[in-house]
């Protein structure tokens, strides 16, 4: 079965396993504050993502040097449940974040843990993997993370706004707080920030398609055939760039081609002339056309 859009985005985020201990700790912090249960007597993380389930034990090993008390089999269908109930382990985890497991816990985002930029991204990756989802852009634009801790929602909201420039909204759902984003551009930026550029491009492609459909509808008297030619060309270019991205080939491109690919990915509905003007230094429209043709050719070769 094909993965859902959300599941593919999570699989992509999982590829960025934290290299530094500070980031492993911050990612676990995000996981724990946005998971199903993080309390004095029990930790419970439930996920459907196989990729997340695969890295979770390694993440806890790296951050705390300890194992879960119960693991699922990765071959099992449906939801996978990870649990810790041993008091000493929970005490160790709480202490790593500056909490005392004997206190009546009021969890919050302990700022020193997310002080460095590298750790902020790791924290949000953890939050998204444990408590987040993103809707298939063909159905609508919606990305969210959910936590049962109200102060955590407030502090994460502040973190997203003040240090990253995102504008999430907050809503209550059952006893939980949901932080969500509805603008396609913000969702795409957030996915890129989390290390899921392919999913981000999927959002931009869907947006392009909608924009162009709207343009066609608005300009129904004029030359439809001409517009759909432009649409098709842009889609072919984006799809080629995505193919190159999926095969990890974007980084290896010559600088000029890379610049052209980035400009198209970031401006799905721009005309070739507009893209040409964005190049450093600016180039002519035919030269831009050549770069796009080259990208499409490379993508075709990569698929052989």
CB of 26 to Zn ion, least distance (A): 6
* Site membership for Zn ion, residue 23 (CB under 5 A): yes
DSSP state of 196: -
User: What's the start-to-end Cα distance of the chain, in Å?
Assistant: 24
DSSP state of 77: -
Convert residues 224-263 into a mask of x (bound to Zn ion by CB under 5 A) and - (unbound): ----------------------------------------
* Site membership for Zn ion, residue 32 (CB under 5 A): no
Convert residues 134-163 into a mask of x (bound to Zn ion by CB under 5 A) and - (unbound): ------------------------------
User: Residue 45 or 119: which CB sits closer to Zn ion?
Assistant: 119
User: Residue 121 or 199: which CB sits closer to Zn ion?
Assistant: 121
CB of 186 to Zn ion, least distance (A): 24
Q: What's phi and psi for 17, nearest 5 deg? A: -75, 130
Given the rule CB under 5 A, which of 79-87, 118-126, 146-154, 199-207 is the region that contacts Zn ion? 118-126
Binding test (CB under 5 A) with Zn ion, winner from 46, 81, 96, 118: 118
88 Cα distance to chain centroid: 34
CB of 87 to Zn ion, least distance (A): 28
Binding test (CB under 5 A) with Zn ion, winner from 16, 48, 69, 116: 116
User: Residue 14 or 113: which CB sits closer to Zn ion?
Assistant: 113
Query: Contacts for 15-23 with beta carbons within 8 Å, 24 or more apart?
Result: 15/195, 16/125, 16/195, 17/55, 17/58, 17/59, 18/59, 18/62, 18/122, 20/118, 21/62, 21/63, 22/116, 22/118, 22/119, 23/118, 23/119, 23/121, 23/122
Name every residue whose Cβ is closer than 8 Å to that of residue 131 and which is 6 or more positions away in sequence. Answer: 34, 35, 145, 146, 147
- Say how far apart CA 49 and CA 42 lie, in whole Å: 21
Binding test (CB under 5 A) with Zn ion, winner from 119, 130, 145, 275: 119
User: For the chain, what is the total number of helices (H) and then of strands (E)?
Assistant: 13, 7
Given the rule CB under 5 A, which of 16-24, 201-209, 262-270, 273-281 is the region that contacts Zn ion? 16-24
Return residues touching Zn ion (CB under 5 A). Answer: 20, 22-23, 116, 118-119
């Amino acid at each position: 079965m094909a993965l859902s859009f959300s599941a593919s985005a999570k699989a992509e985020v999982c590829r960025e396993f934290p290299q530094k201990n500070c980031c492993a700790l911050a990612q676990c912090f995000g996981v724990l504050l946005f998971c199903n249960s993080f309390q004095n007597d029990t930790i419970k993380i439930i996920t459907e993502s196989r990729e997340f389930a695969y890295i979770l034990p390694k993440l806890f090993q790296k951050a705390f040097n300890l194992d879960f008390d119960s693991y699922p089999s990765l071959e099992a269908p449906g939801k996978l449940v990870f649990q810790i109930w041993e008091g000493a382990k929970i005490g160790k985890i709480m202490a790593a974040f500056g909490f005392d497991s004997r206190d009546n816990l009021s969890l919050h985002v302990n700022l020193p843990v997310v002080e460095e930029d590298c750790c902020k991204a790791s924290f949000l990756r953890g939050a998204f993997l444990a408590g987040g989802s993103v809707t298939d852009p063909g159905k609508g634009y919606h990305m969210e993370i959910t936590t049962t801790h109200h102060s955590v929602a407030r502090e994460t909201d502040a973190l997203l706004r003040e240090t990253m420039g995102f504008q999430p909204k907050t809503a209550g759902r059952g006893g939980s707080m949901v932080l969500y984003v509805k603008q396609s551009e913000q969702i795409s930026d957030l996915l890129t920030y989390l290390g899921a550029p392919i999913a981000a491009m999927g959002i931009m492609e869907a947006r392009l398609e909608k924009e162009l459909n709207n343009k066609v509808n608005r300009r129904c008297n004029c030359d439809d055939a001409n517009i759909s030619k432009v649409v098709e060309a842009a889609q072919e270019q984006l799809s080629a760039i995505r193919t190159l991205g999926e095969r990890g080939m974007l980084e290896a491109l010559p600088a000029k081609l890379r610049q052209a690919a980035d400009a198209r990915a970031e401006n799905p509905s721009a005309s070739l002339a507009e893209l040409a003007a964005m190049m450093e230094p600016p180039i002519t429209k035919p030269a831009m056309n050549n770069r796009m043709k080259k990208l499409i050719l490379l993508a075709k070769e990569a698929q052989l």
